């Protein structure tokens, strides 16, 4: 600009990401655009995406980004998986992203983190190739955010356990080959006495049925009945009674991945709406040129940038193994609500077209609405934060 | 003039804590900061708490004394990020963020603003566009705190719309001087300043290319300090309405290029906005911490009000918004320090931080209840002071326009 000191603008890569991550991002984006986006509408209508997506992504190496080479992974770390979380959420169907994400970022990490070598070989290796699909089962009809009131029970029997109970809202629950489930093994109530078992879903007594939802239509969300399901001794994950610790360990990455996904999803719906506002005319000019609309975009962009800044801060801390409880919680809280609000504002800018299924904006709003509920509600996030400040 | 090492007289903070241990304190360092920044932070905070805060209430009545500039100059605080050759400390951009953040502990928004106008609004354009002589004449004594600076953009009929200003500088060939006529208003430091960086129109027909900056000594004949303006908040700052009647300055008083004044000032506004945003975040954090302390002391219905879920969630919401604003400011500062000219992100940071600060201050009054409405608790002052941030240095609406236009809208 004339009259200004020289101020070159380098490629704006934000920490913690480096050029290496951007290569991965580019290849993921190509995959998402070529192999997911064209099918998103159909999968939404069918309320299902094909199981074959898992082995396909396994083949491309996307399911094991952060696992060591000797387990079939790519030898990367959480930052690579963060890129995956961001790029998957541009696939136009949060249900697809959720199904893949539940497998990669939610159900497999506990086995990797707390499993024996044998469990890693039996469950993590085939999860990385996409041969086996994983689901995580914590929530029950009577226990959501209040994990301490879990009732699914595992009774000790010869050679293992027999499990009885119900799990609700389980992503991948119908198609899963194994369910990483929180169950009550001890006599204790509350947080004690909870353990994790890896349940093979081909065991007799495992029955899953699909639930209809407001959004996330392409994802398989199940109500699971467990009736005298046998689980062998060697499928106990971690130590008996340590289940609450496993749940909490997993939540941090799950919430961070959700925050990353929300930021990218907001950016995507923002960009699509921006293109629409420049092309759609009313009263003699593109609607984007009206000041009210311009300001709406500016507000959205600011919200997105604030969410991104906070989320990347949490990611940097998490990646550096620093305590990030508060930062992750804040990022989750802020980004999920923001994502819904941004999507809703984009619906408004689209007007009547936004209300139509064809344009895909109404789906973005419905999909985003899960954010403030899933992975710990907004209210739970505020409890965690408030208590961390001594309140 | 004081080397950085001499500034850092405070002992290092114990940083031996295990990083894996949950630490919910505020002392988590962001990656843009080093040990030196943290030491500087401690030093400035100690100064603000010891030498400024005790007088804050009094200065609300009287405005803060010029002596504050002299003292801060002596301590090296007025040139933290300015080149050493002019008496600065030669620090990076982040040192000025640290100053903006820590001055909040002076508990006086007006004082922080007065200092910021001097260090981060008026000084940078002289350094960026000035001649060597101008830098020696004004920046050197300004960094020492011997001369006080102000910046004149706004006029009674031209605020956000900078292009509408009417203060006019006419060239007098006979004497090779410019003759300035016009008025400037809402000028922080306007009464105490020794120099004003003045935005004028030199060619009314040239549109954006018709503006020129001048360095005008405030004791020049024809500079009239009219009114000390009364305000909603920021009472400790001196805010002036100024008139310029046939003020004569030599051609050598032109700052930067003739005709480039508009672009010079648009550049200046970027640094000002980011520093303002940092101050907003720190101010909001200050109000929140004060409010948490109060909420844990004040009892109602048999328990501290902070133990009610509604209060707890309000605090969680505020803390989250403050952290988001902080990260946005730091990320933008990082871009700035790394050579970007991130006008869009600066505008976002300014908009977001100002709104957060105003919202937080209001919620803090609410949690304080009747006490919050009373002067004694200092929350109503923060609320009044903070309110300026959505107006000053470019209103929310201007920020939204800048951001929106950056997307081609």
- The H-assigned helical ranges of B76-154 are 93-102, 109-116, 123-129, 132-134, 140-144
Residue A243, min C-alpha distance to chain B (Å): 20
CA separation, residue B213 to residues A25, A160, A272, B118, B202 (Å): 46, 83, 42, 16, 9
A378-390 pLDDT, tens digit each: 999 999 999 999 9
Residues of A in contact with B207 (CB under 8 A): none
Rounded distance between C-alpha atoms, residue B334 and residue A308, angstroms = 14
Closest CA to A183 of A167, A168, A170: A167
Give me the catalytic one of A86, A140, A166, A254.
Answer: A254
In the predicted structure, residue B389 carries a pLDDT above the cut 70: yes
Q: Residues A56-62: what's their mean pLDDT?
A: 97
| Residue percentage of chain B with pLDDT more than 90 | 90
In the predicted structure, residue B8 carries a pLDDT above the cut 80: no
**Residue A10 to residue B19, Cβ atoms within 8 A:** no
**Residue B128 to residue A298, Cβ atoms within 8 A:** no
**Residue A381 to residue B316, Cβ atoms within 8 A:** yes
Sorted by where each starts, the structural domains of chain B and their CATH numbers stand as: 27-147 (1.10.540.10), 151-258 (2.40.110.10), 263-406 (1.20.140.10)
Choose the weakest-confidence range: A110-124, A185-199, A272-286.
A185-199
**Residue A301 to residue B407, Cβ atoms within 8 A:** yes
Residue B68, min C-alpha distance to chain A (Å): 32
Nearest to B340 among A7, A294, A334 (CB): A7
Rounded distance between C-alpha atoms, residue B85 and residue A96, angstroms = 60
Q: Residues A19-36: what's their mean pLDDT?
A: 96
Rounded distance between C-alpha atoms, residue A236 and residue A248, angstroms = 17
**Residue A298 to residue B400, Cβ atoms within 8 A:** yes
3-state class (DSSP) for residue B113 = helix
Determine which of A15, A266, A306 to mutate to test the interface with B (most B C-beta atoms within 10 Å): A306
- Per-domain boundaries in chain A: 19-133, 136-241, 245-388
Concatenated DSSP letters of A305-323: HHHHHHHHHHHHHHHTT--
In the predicted structure, residue A188 carries a pLDDT above the cut 70: yes
Q: Residues B26-45: what's their mean pLDDT?
A: 89
In the predicted structure, residue B7 carries a pLDDT above the cut 50: no
Rounded distance between C-alpha atoms, residue A277 and residue B37, angstroms = 45
Which of the four pLDDT bands, split at 50, 70 and 90, describes residue A148?
confident
Look up residue A255 and give its DSSP letter: H
B248-298 pLDDT, tens digit each: 999 999 999 999 999 999 999 999 999 999 999 999 999 999 999 999 999
Q: Is the dihedral of CA B387, B389, B392, B398 positive or negative?
A: negative
Residue A263, min C-alpha distance to chain B (Å): 13
Instruction: Tell me which chain A residue has its CA closest to the CA of residue B320.
Output: A330
Higher pLDDT residue, B137 or A8? B137
CA separation, residue B381 to residues B56, B286, B365, B366, B376 (Å): 11, 12, 10, 14, 9
CATH (residue range A245-388): 1.20.140.10
In the predicted structure, residue A113 carries a pLDDT above the cut 60: yes
In the predicted structure, residue B24 carries a pLDDT above the cut 70: no
Residue B74, min C-alpha distance to chain A (Å): 30
Residue B274, min C-alpha distance to chain A (Å): 14
Residues of A in contact with B331 (CB under 8 A): 14, 309, 312
Q: Quick check: is A166 catalytic?
A: no
**Residue A330 to residue B319, Cβ atoms within 8 A:** yes
The pTM of the full predicted model, rounded to 2 decimals, is 0.91
Rounded distance between C-alpha atoms, residue A378 and residue A329, angstroms = 9
Which of the four pLDDT bands, split at 50, 70 and 90, describes residue A13?
confident
Q: Residues A2-11: what's their mean pLDDT?
A: 44
Q: Residues B172-187: what's their mean pLDDT?
A: 97
Instruction: Tell me which chain A residue has its CA closest to the CA of residue B288.
Output: A389
At residue A12, the pLDDT reads: 63
User: How high does pLDDT run on average in chain B?
Assistant: 92
Q: What's the token pair of residue A293? A: 């609309």
Choose the weakest-confidence range: A12-16, A67-71, A124-128, A379-383.
A12-16
Instruction: Tell me which chain A residue has its CA closest to the CA of residue B351.
Output: A302
Q: What's the token pair of residue B68? A: 């504050």
Instruction: Tell me which chain A residue has its CA closest to the CA of residue B263.
Output: A3
Which of the four pLDDT bands, split at 50, 70 and 90, describes residue B20?
very low
Q: Phi and psi dihedrals of B10, rounded to 5?
A: -80, 145
Rounded distance between C-alpha atoms, residue A51 and residue A98, angstroms = 13
Look up residue B12 and give its DSSP letter: P
**Residue A293 to residue B409, Cβ atoms within 8 A:** yes
Residues of B in contact with A391 (CB under 8 A): 292, 295-296, 306-307, 311-312, 315
Rg, chain B, Cα only: 22
Instruction: Tell me which chain A residue has its CA closest to the CA of residue B403.
Output: A298
At residue B17, the pLDDT reads: 36
In the predicted structure, residue B402 carries a pLDDT above the cut 90: yes
Determine which of A252, A305, A338 to mutate to test the interface with B (most B C-beta atoms within 10 Å): A305
In the predicted structure, residue A272 carries a pLDDT above the cut 50: yes
Give me the catalytic one of B272, B345, B363, B380.
Answer: B272
**Residue A391 to residue B404, Cβ atoms within 8 A:** no
Q: Residues A204-232: what's their mean pLDDT?
A: 97
Rounded distance between C-alpha atoms, residue A263 and residue A253, angstroms = 15
Concatenated DSSP letters of A77-125: -HHHHHHHHHHHTTSS-HHHHHHHHIIIIIIHHHHHHH--HHHIIIIIH
Nearest to A301 among B21, B24, B348 (CB): B348
**Residue A221: strand pairing partners:** A171
Q: Quick count: other Cβ atoms within 10 Å of Cβ B132?
A: 9
Residues of B in contact with A305 (CB under 8 A): 328, 345, 348, 352
3-state class (DSSP) for residue B91 = coil
In the predicted structure, residue A170 carries a pLDDT above the cut 60: yes
Instruction: Tell me which chain A residue has its CA closest to the CA of residue B324.
Output: A310
Residues of B in contact with A294 (CB under 8 A): 400-401, 404-405, 409
Residue B324, min C-alpha distance to chain A (Å): 5
Is B138 exposed, middle or buried, given 0-12, 13-18 or 19+ CB atoms closer than 10 A? buried
CA separation, residue A46 to residues A135, A212, A216, A219 (Å): 21, 12, 12, 10
In the predicted structure, residue A9 carries a pLDDT above the cut 90: no
Q: Does domain A19-133 have CATH number 1.10.540.10?
A: yes
Nearest to B313 among A2, A291, A382 (CB): A382
**What angle (nearest 5°) sits at the alpha carbon of residue B322, between those of residues B320 and B328?**
105
B320-358 pLDDT, tens digit each: 999 999 999 999 999 999 888 999 999 999 999 999 999
Residues of B in contact with A292 (CB under 8 A): none
In the predicted structure, residue B23 carries a pLDDT above the cut 70: no
**Residue B319 to residue A293, Cβ atoms within 8 A:** no
Residue B49, min C-alpha distance to chain A (Å): 23
Task: Give the ipTM of the model, two decimals please.
Answer: 0.88
Residues of B in contact with A307 (CB under 8 A): 324
Rounded distance between C-alpha atoms, residue B244 and residue B226, angstroms = 10
Q: Quick count: other Cβ atoms within 10 Å of Cβ B11?
A: 8
**Residue B327 to residue A306, Cβ atoms within 8 A:** yes
Rounded distance between C-alpha atoms, residue B357 and residue B359, angstroms = 6
Size of interface A-B (CB pairs under 8 A): 170
Look up residue B117 and give its DSSP letter: I
Nearest to A5 among B30, B128, B335 (CB): B128
Concatenated DSSP letters of A5-73: --------PPTT--HHHHHHHHHHHHHIIIIIGGGHHHHHHHT---TTHHHHHHHTTGGGTTS-GGGTS
3-state class (DSSP) for residue B163 = helix
Q: Phi and psi dihedrals of B241, rounded to 5?
A: -105, 125
Closest CA to A49 of A92, A112, A105: A92
Q: Is the dihedral of CA B348, B350, B351, B355 positive or negative?
A: positive
Q: Residues A263-282: what's their mean pLDDT?
A: 97
Which of the four pLDDT bands, split at 50, 70 and 90, describes residue B6?
very low
Q: Residues A33-61: what's their mean pLDDT?
A: 98
Q: Residues A328-350: what's their mean pLDDT?
A: 98
Instruction: Tell me which chain B residue has its CA closest to the CA of residue A313.
Output: B327
**Residue B309 to residue A297, Cβ atoms within 8 A:** no
Q: Which residues of A80-105 are buried (b: 16+ CB within 10 A; e: fewer)?
A: bbbbbbbbbbbbbbbbbbbbbbbbbb
Which of the four pLDDT bands, split at 50, 70 and 90, describes residue B160?
confident
Residues of B in contact with A1 (CB under 8 A): 263, 341
Residues of A in contact with B399 (CB under 8 A): 298
Is residue A16 reached through a cis peptide bond, with omega within 30 degrees of 0 on the bond before it?
Answer: yes
Which of the four pLDDT bands, split at 50, 70 and 90, describes residue B5?
very low
Rounded distance between C-alpha atoms, residue B52 and residue B63, angstroms = 12
Residue B400, min C-alpha distance to chain A (Å): 5
B77-103 pLDDT, tens digit each: 999 999 999 999 999 999 999 999 999
Q: Residues A138-165: what's their mean pLDDT?
A: 93
Choose the weakest-confidence range: A102-111, A249-258, B64-73.
A249-258
Q: What's the token pair of residue B229? A: 């303006």
Q: Quick count: other Cβ atoms within 10 Å of Cβ A135?
A: 29
Q: Does domain A136-241 have CATH number 2.40.110.10?
A: yes
């Amino acid at each position: 600009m004339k009259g200004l000191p020289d101020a070159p603008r380098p490629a704006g890569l934000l920490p913690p990401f480096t050029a290496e991550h951007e290569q991965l991002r580019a290849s993921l984006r190509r995959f998402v655009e070529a192999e997911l986006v064209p099918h998103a509408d159909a999968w939404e209508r069918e309320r299902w995406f094909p199981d074959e997506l898992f082995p396909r992504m396994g083949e491309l190496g996307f399911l094991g980004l952060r696992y060591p080479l000797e387990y079939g992974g790519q030898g990367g770390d959480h930052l690579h998986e963060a890129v995956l979380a961001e790029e998957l959420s541009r696939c136009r169907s949060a249900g697809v992203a959720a199904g893949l994400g539940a497998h990669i970022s939610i159900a497999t990490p506990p086995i990797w983190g707390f499993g024996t070598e044998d469990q890693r070989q039996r469950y993590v290796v085939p999860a990385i190739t996409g041969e086996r699909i994983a689901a995580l089962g914590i929530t029950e009809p009577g226990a959501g955010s209040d994990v301490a009131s879990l009732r699914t029970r595992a009774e000790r029997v010869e050679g293992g356990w027999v499990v009885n109970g119900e799990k609700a809202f389980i992503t991948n629950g119908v198609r899963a080959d194994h369910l990483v489930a929180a169950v009550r093994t001890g006599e204790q109530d509350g947080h004690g006495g909870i353990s994790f078992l890896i349940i093979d879903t081909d065991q007799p007594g495992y029955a899953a049925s699909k639930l209809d939802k407001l959004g996330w239509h392409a994802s398989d969300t199940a109500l699971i009945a467990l009736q005298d399901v046998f689980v062998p001794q060697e499928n106990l994950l971690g130590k008996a009674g340590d289940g609450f610790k496993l749940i909490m360990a997993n939540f941090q990455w799950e919430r961070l991945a959700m925050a990353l996904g929300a930021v990218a999803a907001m950016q995507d719906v923002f960009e699509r709406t921006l293109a629409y506002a420049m092309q759609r005319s009313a009263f003699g000019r593109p609607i984007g040129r009206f000041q009210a609309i311009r300001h709406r975009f500016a507000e959205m962009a600011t919200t997105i940038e604030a969410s991104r800044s906070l989320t990347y801060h949490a990611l940097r801390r998490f990646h550096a193994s620093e305590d990030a409880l508060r930062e992750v919680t804040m990022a989750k809280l802020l980004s999920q609500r923001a994502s819904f609000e941004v999507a809703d504002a984009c619906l408004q800018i689209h007007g009547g077209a936004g209300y139509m299924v064809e344009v895909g904006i109404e789906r973005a709003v419905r999909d985003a609405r899960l954010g403030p509920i899933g992975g710990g509600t907004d209210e739970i996030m505020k409890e965690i934060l408030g208590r961390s400040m001594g309140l | 003039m004081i080397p950085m090492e001499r500034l850092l007289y405070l002992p290092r903070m114990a940083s031996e804590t295990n990083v894996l241990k949950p630490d919910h304190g505020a002392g988590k360092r962001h990656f843009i900061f080093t040990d030196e920044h943290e030491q500087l932070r401690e030093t400035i905070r100690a100064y603000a708490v010891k030498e400024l805060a005790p007088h804050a209430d009094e200065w609300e009545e009287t405005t803060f004394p010029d002596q504050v500039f002299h003292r801060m100059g002596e301590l090296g605080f007025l040139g933290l990020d300015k080149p050493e050759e002019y008496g600065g400390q030669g620090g990076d951009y982040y040192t000025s963020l640290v100053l903006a953040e820590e001055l909040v502990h002076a508990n006086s928004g007006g004082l922080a603003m007065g200092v910021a106008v001097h260090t981060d609004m008026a000084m940078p354009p002289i350094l960026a566009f000035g001649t060597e002589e101008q830098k020696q004449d004004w920046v050197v004594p300004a960094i020492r705190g011997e001369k006080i600076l102000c910046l004149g953009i706004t006029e009674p009929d031209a605020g956000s719309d900078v292009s509408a200003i009417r203060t006019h500088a006419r060239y007098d060939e006979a004497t090779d001087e410019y003759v300035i006529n016009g008025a400037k208003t809402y000028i922080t430091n306007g009464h105490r300043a020794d120099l004003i960086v003045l935005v004028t129109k030199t060619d009314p027909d040239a549109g954006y290319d018709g503006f020129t900056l001048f360095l005008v000594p405030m004791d020049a004949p024809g500079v009239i300090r009219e009114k000390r303006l009364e305000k909603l908040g920021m009472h400790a700052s001196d805010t002036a309405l100024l008139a310029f009647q046939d003020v004569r300055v030599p051609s050598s008083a032109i700052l930067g290029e003739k005709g480039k004044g508009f672009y010079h000032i648009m550049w200046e506004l970027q640094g000002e906005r980011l520093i303002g945003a940092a101050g907003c975040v720190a101010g909001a954090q200050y109000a929140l911490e004060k409010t948490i302390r109060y909420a844990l002391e004040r009892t109602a219905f048999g328990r501290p009000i902070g133990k009610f879920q509604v209060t707890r969630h309000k605090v969680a919401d505020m803390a989250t918004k403050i952290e988001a604003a902080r990260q946005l400011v730091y990320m933008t500062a990082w871009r700035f320090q790394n050579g970007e000219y991130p006008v869009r992100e600066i505008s976002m940071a300014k908009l977001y931080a100002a709104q957060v600060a105003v919202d937080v201050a209001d919620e803090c009054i609410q949690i304080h209840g009747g006490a919050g409405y009373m002067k004694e608790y200092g929350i109503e002052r923060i609320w009044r002071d903070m309110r300026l941030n959505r107006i000053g240095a470019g209103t929310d609406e201007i920020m939204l326009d800048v951001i929106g236009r950056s997307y081609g809208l």
